[in-house]
């Protein structure tokens, strides 16, 4: 059984584990105050070109709930599109911190300025929650990405309506390495109030780098992390990984993302050649959503593991293939063969 289920099925590139092994018995300061975390943050700041606060958090849902609950007062809400991870796949973690997720319809997994504006306009007074933040994911849950032409207007509407902008970058590596991509970390540093760079889905054992740009949101954030149980004692384990991923201008981080995108592209070409239709437009990231018949589905499931996203009304199925740093050309070829 070969798995295309997700990009977190394998531990990490050996290089990262070897790096940990080298430091196995070295003494470091705890709770993220070590030299590796500092160096990793410096490397990221270099790419940002901005004076950001950077915190390393074990997981994505945790990063989302931390970022959102740190910014909102009890009656304030976050706007997300209906397919947004915080709305669907976090078991109410955001609501668990006391905040409503206001949903707007997605367009290919993305939120639009019009959607944001409408959400604000329909929340008119103190009998309703007060929208205060916009949550977007890049790459999105449908594998699509945001471009400058989409993000500039989103930032503009946020400014106009007094909203904070937060980007969930669980798959930011893959997004930034898409051939459709026209943004970089320094651009995100300009338009986001805060965002995170996902490690878990791009080669780390675990860990996400939360980047706080807006100075008003920086104070006392380490208290927040501890209060939510997200401060690892051995923070240097995360620090070392991000140091390895981001030293040399993010060399390893981007190499891994490019590789997984390339593997996905191969699958995409095969699918297109064979005239498969897609549930979501392919955006050259590491996720693909082809539509298959029931027979093909059953056939594929004999040798491959992947998620079935949705049973479609016409009896076909939208499925998802995800590639990772550990996806080999052989696995891809086997899949293409089977398609």
96 binds a copy of itself (CB under 8 A): yes
What tokens were used for 137? 């994911």
The window from 70-78, 139-147, 149-157, 243-251 that contacts a copy of itself (CB under 8 A) reads 70-78
88 binds a copy of itself (CB under 8 A): yes
102's enclosing H/E stretch is strand 101-104
Whole-angstrom distance, CA of residue 62 vs CA of residue 65: 5
42 binds a copy of itself (CB under 8 A): no
24 binds a copy of itself (CB under 8 A): yes
The residues in 4-23 that bind a copy of itself, with binding defined as CB under 8 A, are: 5-6, 8-14, 17-18, 20-21, 23
106 binds a copy of itself (CB under 8 A): no
Directed axis angle between helix 113-121 and helix 148-161, to 10°? Answer: 20
The residues in 180-239 that bind a copy of itself, with binding defined as CB under 8 A, are: 200-201, 205-206, 220, 222-234, 236-237
- Please list, residue by residue across 202-221, b when 16 or more beta carbons sit within 10 angstroms of its beta carbon and e when fewer do: bbbbbbbbbbbbeeebeeeb
To a copy of itself, the closest distance from the beta carbon of 127 in angstroms equals 5
Residues 6+ apart with CB under 8 A from 287: 139, 142, 143, 171, 174, 264, 320, 321, 322
The window from 28-36, 46-54, 176-184, 270-278 that contacts a copy of itself (CB under 8 A) reads 28-36
Give 290's DSSP letter. Answer: B
The residues in 234-273 that bind a copy of itself, with binding defined as CB under 8 A, are: 234, 236-237, 240
x/- track of binding to a copy of itself for residues 113-152 (CB under 8 A):
-------------xxxxx----------------------
172 binds a copy of itself (CB under 8 A): no
Give the residue from 216, 255, 196, 192 showing the smallest Cα distance to 57: 196
98 binds a copy of itself (CB under 8 A): yes
Residues 6+ apart with CB under 8 A from 151: 183, 187, 191
For a copy of itself, give the closer residue by CB, 230 or 292.
230
Whole-angstrom distance, CA of residue 236 vs CA of residue 242: 10
298 binds a copy of itself (CB under 8 A): no
For a copy of itself, give the closer residue by CB, 23 or 338.
23
């Amino acid at each position: 059984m070969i798995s295309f289920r997700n990009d977190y099925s394998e531990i990490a590139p050996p290089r990262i584990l070897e790096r940990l092994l080298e430091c196995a018995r070295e003494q470091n300061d705890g709770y993220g105050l070590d030299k590796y975390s500092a160096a990793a943050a410096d490397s990221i700041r270099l790419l940002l070109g901005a004076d950001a606060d950077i915190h390393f958090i074990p997981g994505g849902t945790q990063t989302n709930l931390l970022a959102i609950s740190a910014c909102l007062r009890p009656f304030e809400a976050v706007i997300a599109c209906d397919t947004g991870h915080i709305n669907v796949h976090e078991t109410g973690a955001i609501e668990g911190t006391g905040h409503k997720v206001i949903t707007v319809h997605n367009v290919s997994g993305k939120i639009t300025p019009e959607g944001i504006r409408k959400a604000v306009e329909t929340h008119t007074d103190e009998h309703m929650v007060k929208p205060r933040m916009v949550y977007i994911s890049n790459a999105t849950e449908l594998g699509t990405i945001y471009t400058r032409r989409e993000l500039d207007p989103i930032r503009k509407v946020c400014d106009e309506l007094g909203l904070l902008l937060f980007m969930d970058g669980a798959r930011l590596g893959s997004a930034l390495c898409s051939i459709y991509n026209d943004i970089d970390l320094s651009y995100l540093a300009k338009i986001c109030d805060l965002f995170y760079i996902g490690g878990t889905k791009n080669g780390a054992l675990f860990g996400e780098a939360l980047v706080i740009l807006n100075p008003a949101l920086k104070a006392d954030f380490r208290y927040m992390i501890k209060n939510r149980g997200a401060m690892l004692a051995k923070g240097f384990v995360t620090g070392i990984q991000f140091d390895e991923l981001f030293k040399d201008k993010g060399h390893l981080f981007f190499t891994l993302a490019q590789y997984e995108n390339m593997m996905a592209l191969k699958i995409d070409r095969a699918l297109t050649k064979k005239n498969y239709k897609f549930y979501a437009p392919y955006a050259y990231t590491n996720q693909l959503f082809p539509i298959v018949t029931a027979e093909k589905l059953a056939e594929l499931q004999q040798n491959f593991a992947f998620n079935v996203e949705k049973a479609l009304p016409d009896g076909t199925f939208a499925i998802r293939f995800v590639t990772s740093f550990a996806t080999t050309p052989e696995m891809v070829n086997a899949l293409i063969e089977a398609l």
